A and B are shown apart, each in its own frame.
Chain A
Amino acid sequence: MTTVACADPAGAGIRERVLRALDAVIDPELDEPITTLRFVSSCSVTSDGDVEIVLRLPTPQCAPNFAFLMAADASNAVRRVPGVGRVTVTLDDHYTAEEINAAVREGQGFTGAFPGETDDDELGALRKLFQRKALTARQAVLCEAMLAAGADAGRVASVLVADLPDTAAARRCLALREQLGIDTGPGARAFVLPDGGPLEAGQVQRWLRLARLVRTSLEANGGICRSLLQVRHDLASESEEN
């Protein structure tokens, strides 16, 4: 009881809920939660329910655009947790930390962090671009599993959203589709091209080859980020690659 009170003086499992909310915050470039990437270096809750989150990135020079998105997303996600008071998200050890922290604190957009230097629309477009890449890569995993289980290209092209297994990969695909405005209804096709159009049987082989390349790219980048973080913060190595 004492240890729980220490970690979460407000009780009621706020810290637990905050961490779960942070699980839903994704590094847009890598399509992985900031929690499993170990970007959340601390999370504390006061007896009044005020929450303080500290984020750290693999290097002080990580792209400010993605850094901003993660800090702002984290702040928004935590604010929505029932029972939390004031929320402070601080990006640590980054060359634009001061600007980003102030903008997130004031609830200003990216333009608030770098007035006259940026455009929030471009940031939104960049996020969408990576969501499309992530969707392609995630779908490829589902598609490969189907093919390995004996399905052919014709079957892949006819599968519907309703037929998808209830797995984390499939749920992530649907979440990305929703964010991209692509139909997620049970009758919609399960596999879509980056523009949302249906994947036809004749396209499966080439699409899969390209999708695998996208996945390799995302994974390799994720790998470099994890390794850098590990080196800089002297972290224990993880269970390794998937």
Chain B
Amino acid sequence: MYARNGDRYFVVDGHCHFWDASPANWVKGQEQYAKGWIECFHAYMGLAPAETHWPLEKFQKYSEEDFVKDVFEDGGVDVGIFQSTYLKEWYTTGFNTAAENAKMAEKYPGRLIVNGRFDPREGEAGMRELEEDANRYNLQGVKLYTAEWYKGSRGWKLTDPEAQMFLDKCKELGIRNVHVHKGPTIWPLDKDGFDVKDVDVAATSNPELNFIVEHVGLPRIEDFCFMATQEPNVYAGLAVVIGGLMHARPRFFAKVMGELLFWVGEDKMLFGSDYAIWEPKWQIDGFLDWDYPDGDEYSDYPRLDDAGKRKILGLNAAKLYRIDVPAEFQVPGAADKEDAQLVESA
């Protein structure tokens, strides 16, 4: 629970990590990638207020105590969702795998949700692994990287027939939430890793699943928005939007928020801190204080009131993950999941 000026907020951090990118975990011969990756993340931290910056060494590997303090205590996050990111070609034990995340989740029952992953190119073995993970970690969601390279393949699409088999398997296993990384990519050579068209098709064919587009398709917010207006089961994951723009580029942040509120709507936007890239506290604080700057250019964007902020900060994600939210945090008139699906988008 996040408390401020006598107000209390239920917060679900839809996108957080507990990673090990320390040099001891770098794969031999791949050091330049492992190093480049974490230094790239560290540069993103530079977009936060200076007093929240960490030295690189801490950023490479932070402690459980850091996580608990930054996310639960200072950040007031009620439930955090781990988006597992493997990158085993670069990091020996992985960057943050479901197994590692689950160890942490076990220590803080009810506070952390572990999302798994699948890659349709792994075939039968991948299918078995998904099944095992689903049972072992009680998966409700998966995080997918469609731009990832695998044995000569330069990425995949949700519309591939094999991918549909995995989506069917998800439904069978009770996995409802499919987070798709559509944003800055790991190895996007000629493949267009940002393209969100495949999410459009998959969302239409799989109305039982929710598709959360992480990083709102940056640098393709427009393609994402066009799609999200047409698909009731497509959601906007705000990780990087708040962390990367709110402090560093407040006027662009206001425009991006205005566009998302217009095209996607406050019922389908989910807060995510992307911790440890950015600590949640300053993001939540700034978001609660946020309003459009003065200026005509913002005049026809939808306004965001306290109830809308509550939805984005926690209530929307709580619905997707069936998290019990005490009555005091509910906002009157918030559409529940079933209603939301019936709402015809603008």
Contacts and interface: CB of A to CB of B under 8 A. Distances in A.
Interface of A: 29, 58-61, 63-65, 95, 110, 114, 117-120, 122-123, 126, 129, 133, 210, 212-214, 216-221, 223-224, 227-228, 231-232, 240-241
A114 B188 CA distance: 12
A146 to B, nearest CB: 16
A148 to B, nearest CB: 9
B189 A95 contact: no
A213 B263 CA distance: 10
Contacts of A220: 218-219, 221, 245, 249, 252-253, 255-256
A199 B305 CA distance: 37
A213 B221 contact: yes
B36 A64 contact: no
16 contacts: A59-B39, A65-B190, A95-B33, A95-B36, A110-B189, A122-B191, A213-B221, A213-B259, A214-B222, A219-B252, A220-B221, A220-B255, A223-B252, A224-B248, A227-B244, A228-B43
Q: Give the top 4 A-B pairs by smallest Cβ distance, nearest first.
A: A231-B46, A223-B249, A221-B219, A217-B221
Interface string B10-42: 000000000000000000000011001101100
Interface string B239-260: 0000011001101110110110
B265 to A, nearest CB: 14
Contact of A231 (B36, B43, B256): B43
Contacts of B190: 65, 110, 117-120, 122-123, 126
Contacts of B46: 227-228, 231-232
A210 B249 CA distance: 22
Interface residues of B, number: 40
Given A61-B36, A95-B33, 6 more contacts: A64-B189, A216-B256, A217-B256, A223-B249, A228-B44, A241-B252
B221 A216 contact: yes
A231 B218 contact: no
B319 interface: no
Contacts of B219: 29, 217-218, 220-221
A218 B223 CA distance: 12
Nearest to B185: A63
A228 B40 CA distance: 9
A152 B6 CA distance: 50
A227 B47 contact: yes
A61 B251 CA distance: 26
A221 B224 CA distance: 14
B154 A224 contact: no
Contacts of A213: 221-222, 225, 259, 263
A227 B248 contact: yes
A65 B188 CA distance: 7
Given A220-B221, A221-B219, A241-B252, A60 B192 contact: no
A122 to B, nearest CB: 4
A241 B43 contact: no
Nearest to A133: B222
A165 B205 CA distance: 48
